[in-house]
Amino acid sequence: MSNFKAFLLMGLLSILLVLLGNAIGGQTGALIFLLISFALNFYTYYNSDKVAIKMTNSKPISEEQAPQLYAMVRNLADRAGLPMPRLYLTPSPQPNAFATGRNPENSAVAVTEGLIKMLNREELEGVLAHELAHIKNRDVLVGTIAASMAGAITMIANMLQWTAFLGGFGGNNEQGNNPFGLLFVAILSSLAATIIQLAISRSREYGADAEGAAIAGNPHGLANALLKLEEAARQIRMEKANPAASHLFIVNPLAGGSITRLFSTHPPIKERVERLKQMA
């Protein structure tokens, strides 16, 4: 099912890129952007972990530095039937965590300094189990593809909007000379890309919560942790947080107002906690 979601996502976002290419340069533009979509998917597939680690400024942490953390992750990974992931430490006082990697054999889990300090053992196990669930379900691949493709579409759509304001492209392409048509395609493509990314990201969080609770052995630790992390995200800012990587974390590190939450990559914490309580 996870592979189906990944291919469906690649297909939908690739179609949007092709439509943008067609709006810019007709059949030639569509072909060029189709090739761009293939290149983006290929690069993202093989480099998702490196990109995520670099964007969050996370550093490798050895077993000598964190023996208890390694023991906890190793125990949870055994329960989940997963190989031991690489562990990283993200230099931030905000408690948070994320997983990355294209498959279980090439996976990594990163925790912030604040997460280790703030949570008790049961809560920390719940968070780590949630991240291992993402790895087990290959959600990381899906989310990374969503972010990279949606980001590319939004960037190109923004360029297209400026072109529309300046009167469209030159040449004989009738669609290219219609600034209103360009503007419509640009806005629609950007909005559609965002909606696809949000839908995929939110659904995978619910799934990882349920799977994580099963791996940890109970939903209480994760439920309590989510409440703590949500409150901390409002009070403790994650310095140099990259919006492009916000979807990776267990809670959105960029806490905002109600309008921002409407377009959040994460479902409401209240709903996630309620679902976990129902499992108990």
∠ Cα 109 111 115 (to 5°)? 150
* CB contact set of 278 (below 8 Å; sequence gap of 6+): none
Please say whether the beta carbons of 225 and 127 come within 8 A. yes
Q: How high is the pLDDT of residue 45? A: 73
Cα 191 → chain centroid: 17
Q: How high is the pLDDT of residue 163? A: 61
Q: Which of 36-50, 80-94, 161-175 is predicted most confidently?
A: 80-94
Please say whether the beta carbons of 72 and 125 come within 8 A. yes
Mean of the pLDDT values across residues 154-180?
57
Q: Which residue among the candidates 123, 125, 131, 211 is catalytic per the annotation?
A: 131
Range of the domain at 181: 2-279
Q: How high is the pLDDT of residue 238? A: 86
- Name the packing angle between helices 179-216 and 121-136 (round to 10°): 120
Q: How high is the pLDDT of residue 175? A: 45
Report pLDDT digits (tens) over 98-153: 999 888 999 999 999 999 999 999 999 999 999 999 999 888 777 666 666 666 67
Q: How high is the pLDDT of residue 1? A: 47
Mean of the pLDDT values across residues 86-105?
94
Banded pLDDT at 270 (limits 50, 70, 90) = very high
What pTM was estimated for this model as a whole? 0.77
Whether the per-residue pLDDT at 176 is higher than 50: the answer is no
Q: How high is the pLDDT of residue 155? A: 66
Residues 1, 90: Cα–Cα separation, whole Å: 31
Residues 148, 134: Cα–Cα separation, whole Å: 18
The secondary element (H helix, E strand) that includes residue 78 is helix 67-80
Residues 250, 238: Cα–Cα separation, whole Å: 14
Instruction: Let me know if 230 is a catalytic residue.
Output: no
User: What is the tally of structural domains in the chain?
Assistant: 1
Q: How high is the pLDDT of residue 48? A: 74
Banded pLDDT at 259 (limits 50, 70, 90) = very low
What is the percent of the chain with per-residue pLDDT over 90, rounded to a whole number? 41
Report pLDDT digits (tens) over 194-216: 666 666 667 788 989 999 999 99
Please say whether the beta carbons of 61 and 213 come within 8 A. no
Q: Which residue has the higher pLDDT, 254 or 171?
A: 254
Q: How high is the pLDDT of residue 165? A: 60
Whether the per-residue pLDDT at 244 is higher than 70: the answer is no
Mean of the pLDDT values across residues 88-103?
93
Average pLDDT, the chain: 80
Exposure string of 75-84, with b = 16+ CB inside 10 Å and e = fewer, is: ebbeebebee
Report pLDDT digits (tens) over 1-57: 445 665 666 667 677 777 777 766 777 777 787 787 778 777 777 777 888 898 889
